[in-house]
Structure 1
Amino acid sequence: MNIKNVYILEDRGILFIHGSDTKEFLQNLITNDINKVDEANSCFASLLTPQGKYLFDFLVVKHKKGYFIDCEKKQIQELFKQLNIYKLRSDIEILNLSNEFVVAAFSYEKFISFDGAKDLPGNTFKYGEDPVFLDPRHKKL
Structure 2
Amino acid sequence: MTHKFTQLQRSLIHITGPDRLSFLQGLITQDVEKLNPSQSLYSLLLTPQGRFLYDFFLIPANSSNSSFFLEIDTTVAPDLLKRLTLYKLRSEVTLELQSDLSVCAYWTHKEPIGNTTLFDNVIAYQDPRLEELGGRLIASTSESHAFLQNQGFEETSPEDYKSHLLEWGIPTSPYDMIPEKSIPLECGMEELHALSWTKGCYLGQELTARTHHQGLVRKRLIPGKLEGSETIPLNARLMYEGEEAGLLRSSEKGRALALLRLEFLEPSLSLKKPFQIRPPKEGVQESLEKDLPVTFIPFLPSWMKIPTS
TM-score range, shorter chain: 0.7 to 0.9
> Residues 69, 130 of structure 1: CA spacing in aligned structure 2 closer, same or farther, 3 A cutoff?
same
* Structure 1 residues 88 and 40: alpha-carbon distance in aligned structure 2, compared to 1, 3 A threshold: same
Calculate the TM-score normalised by the size of structure 2. 0.39
CA distance in 2, matches of 1:111, 1:85: 41
Q: Deviations over 1:97-131 (max 9, x none)?
A: 1x21100122245553x4xx2xxxxx211122432
Q: Which amino acid aligns with 1:83?
A: L
Amino acid at match of 2:57: L
**Alpha-carbon deviation of 1:44?**
0.5
Match status 1:136 vs 2:134 = no
CA distance 1:111–1:86, shift in 2 (3 Å): farther
Query: Which letter maps to 1:126?
Result: L
Higher relative contact order (CA 8 A, sep 6+): 1
How many angstroms apart in 2 are the aligned matches of 1:92 and 1:13?
19
Contact residue 109 and residue 132 of structure 2 kept, 8 A: no
The DSSP-based 3-state class of the residue aligned with 1:40 is coil
Equivalent-residue separation in structure 2 for 1:23 and 1:129 (angstroms):
24
Structure exhibiting the larger radius of gyration computed from Cα positions: 2
- The reply on whether 1:96 has 2:80 as its aligned counterpart is no
CA contact (8 A) 1:108 1:139 kept: no
Q: Is the 8 A contact 2:30 2:42 kept in 1?
A: yes
Q: Give the drift of 1:68.
A: 0.5
**Amino acid paired to 1:128:** D
**Deviation per CA, 1:72-98, whole angstroms, max 9, x where unpaired?**
10000100011001000000000011x
Identity fraction in percent: 32
| One-letter amino acid of the counterpart of residue 124, structure 2 | V
**Unmatched runs of 5 consecutive residues or more in structure 2:** 134-309
What is the RMSD computed on CA atoms of the aligned residues?
Answer: 1.7
Q: How many residues align?
A: 128
TM (normalized to structure 1)? 0.83
Q: 1:24 aligns to what?
A: 22
1:8 and 2:7 aligned: yes
Q: Specify the alignment match of 1:57 in structure 2.
A: 55
Determine the C-alpha separation between the residues in 1 that align with 2:103 and 2:55. 16
More off after superposition, 41-50 vs 100-109? 100-109
